[in-house]
């Protein structure tokens, strides 16, 4: 049935989605602040590279519990409450960190406030944004509009880097205080004006199915959940997806954290006084703004991968992943051989290209492939397992960076090996697509085993 929405309904829906995305930008002001100012932070607070990486690893571990808690809270209370809870947590922790006294005796406080409580709050955010957004979006538009909403993390990180980088001249505490104010300001419209769900569904203004929100019945009904879960966990395809998602996310995490540091060291490699250059405001401003291209190109990647996924036949859906993972491996293998000896402009281009190759495949895994393999009744379980895999890989990468330090040759060797795992997993997904189509006699059907239909 053709779905039509009135102009007023479209305007209302677009306003809700824009405000939700802007609110989510606040999360990135309160997380990208550390990525931008980590050089100043380490210098002033006396953190070693190992200690800083351990703090990030603790944060990602805490965010696992945030993601798990968000699912239960959104179902029981509603996503809007969780958005306010999450933003209150990460805004408050960001501000508290900016006023914690300096010195090694306060490192434990920094660990608990920012890495523990702060990252737990950050882990709540995306699940809550999705919960509210899907309450408002009519089903016929769910995939397209949620695809646009899923670009919010990349845009938020880029906007935060461009906005906060000029404040580096005033110290890392000024960056954190500004980030907390931005986070609070971006939360306010959602807290004041956006309800958890429309009072009367926008679907009532359409000729088509309703939104995924139902105020009287559960969103998901699990029939024979345990028996289906047993089928799911012995399906090797699930673990290929987890391995692929985790390896991509681990690489993505490391570049989000350290792309600015890497570019700064390349930028200063020919300077007369390397140490002074690395800590100069000029170098940090230039590389912080240059690193924003990593996430900006990632946004284009999400759009391109989404369109390719819709256009290609089912038997070649896995090809999308392979096509992007192959140049990713090539870029990292090249950086492995060059280390810090490549020209600065080429280093910037390589970082941008890595972002382009990473973001699109990673987003489509969580948005599409998790739903395909889990079916209607186990899609959330699949998404959760992939999320846990993502965080575990991120923790391993952060701990590895802490032990390796600034030896970027070794770090890129690890990342090249990780990207090779991604490429192998993507090829396995493609091969499974082809095999299922072949066994089905060439019929056009879903190439993945939809367990919810069994």
Q: What is the pLDDT of residues 18-32, one digit of tens each?
A: 888 888 888 888 877
What does the alpha-carbon distance between residue 129 and residue 80 come to, in Å, rounded to a whole number? 8
Q: How confident is the model at residue 440 (pLDDT cuts 50, 70, 90)?
A: low
What's the pLDDT at 247? 92
Q: How many CA atoms lie within 13 A of 377 on its CB side?
A: 17
Mean pLDDT of 199-217: 43
91 versus 228: which is more confidently predicted?
91
Helix 281-311 and helix 317-338: axis angle, to 10°? 160
**61 and 115 Cβ atoms separated by less than 8 Å:** no
How far apart, in Å, are the Cα atoms of 31 and each of 41, 117, 164, 174, 266? 14, 13, 11, 14, 24
Q: What is the mean pLDDT of residues 414-437?
A: 83
The pLDDT value recorded for residue 448 is: 44
Neighbour-count burial for 265-302, b at 16+ CB within 10 Å, e otherwise: bbbbbeeeeeeebbbbeebbbbbbbbbbbbbbbbbebb
- Do residues 150 and 367 make contact, with C-beta atoms less than 8 angstroms apart? yes
Mean pLDDT calculated for residue range 432-439: 65
Q: What is the pLDDT of residue 216?
A: 32
Tokens of 115: 């890495």
Lowest-pLDDT choice from 141-145, 319-323, 336-340: 141-145
pLDDT band at 5 (very low <50, low <70, confident <90, very high): confident
Residue 209 pLDDT grade (very low, low, confident, very high; cuts 50, 70, 90): very low
Structural tokens at position 431: 């091969």
Bridge partners of 5? 206
pLDDT for the residue numbered 328: 94
Which of 236, 248, 372 lies closest to 302 in space, CA to CA?
248
- 215 φψ region: left (φ > 0), alpha (ψ -120 to 50), beta (else): alpha
Q: Could you tell me the end-to-end alpha-carbon distance of the chain, in angstroms, rounded to an integer?
A: 26
Task: State the average pLDDT over residues 84-107.
Answer: 80
pLDDT tens-place string over residues 366-379: 666 765 676 555 55
What whole-number distance in Å separates Cα of residue 71 and Cα of residue 19? 21
**Structure-derived torsion over alpha carbons of residues 212, 213, 214, 217, reported in degrees to the nearest 10:** 70
């Amino acid at each position: 049935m053709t779905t039509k929405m009135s102009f007023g309904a479209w305007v209302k829906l677009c306003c809700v989605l824009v405000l939700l995305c802007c609110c989510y930008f606040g999360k990135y002001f309160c997380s990208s602040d550390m990525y931008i100012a980590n050089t100043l932070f380490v210098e002033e607070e006396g953190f070693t590279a190992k200690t800083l990486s351990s703090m990030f690893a603790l944060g990602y571990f805490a965010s696992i519990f945030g993601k798990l808690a968000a699912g239960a809270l959104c179902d029981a209370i509603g996503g809007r409450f969780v958005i306010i809870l999450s933003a209150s947590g990460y805004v408050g922790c960001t501000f508290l960190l900016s006023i914690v006294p300096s010195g090694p005796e306060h490192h434990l406080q920094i660990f608990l406030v920012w890495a523990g409580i702060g990252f737990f709050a950050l882990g709540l955010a995306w699940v809550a944004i999705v919960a509210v957004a899907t309450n408002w979006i009519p089903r016929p538009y769910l995939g397209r509009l949620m695809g646009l909403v899923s670009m919010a993390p990349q845009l938020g990180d880029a906007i935060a880097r461009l906005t906060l980088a000029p404040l580096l001249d005033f110290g890392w505490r000024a960056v954190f205080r500004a980030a907390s104010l931005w986070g609070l300001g971006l939360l306010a419209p959602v807290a004041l004006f956006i309800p958890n769900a429309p009072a009367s569904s926008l679907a009532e203004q359409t000729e088509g199915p309703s939104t995924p929100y139902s105020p009287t019945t559960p969103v998901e009904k699990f029939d024979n959940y345990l028996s289906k879960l047993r089928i799911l966990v012995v399906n090797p395809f699930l673990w290929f997806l987890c391995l692929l998602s985790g390896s991509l996310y681990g690489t993505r995490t490391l570049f989000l954290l350290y792309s600015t540091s890497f570019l700064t060291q390349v930028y200063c490699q020919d300077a007369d006084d390397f140490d002074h250059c690395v800590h100069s405001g000029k170098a940090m401003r230039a590389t912080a703004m240059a690193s924003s291209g990593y996430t900006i190109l990632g946004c284009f990647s999400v759009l391109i991968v989404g369109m390719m996924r819709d256009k290609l036949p089912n038997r070649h859906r896995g090809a999308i992943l392979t096509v992007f993972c192959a140049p990713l491996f090539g870029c990292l293998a090249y950086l492995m051989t060059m280390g810090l000896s490549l020209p600065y402009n080429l280093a910037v281009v390589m970082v941008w290209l890595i972002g382009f190759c990473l973001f699109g495949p990673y987003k489509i895994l969580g948005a599409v492939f998790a739903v395909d393999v889990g079916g209607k009744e186990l899609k959330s379980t699949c998404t959760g397992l992939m999320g846990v895999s993502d965080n575990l890989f991120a923790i391993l990468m952060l701990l590895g960076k802490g032990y390796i330090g600034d030896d970027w040759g070794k770090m890129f060797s690890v990342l090249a090996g990780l990207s090779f795992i991604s490429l192998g997993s993507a090829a396995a997904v493609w091969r499974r697509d082809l095999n299922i189509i072949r066994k089905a006699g060439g019929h056009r059907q879903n190439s993945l085993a939809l367990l919810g239909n069994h």
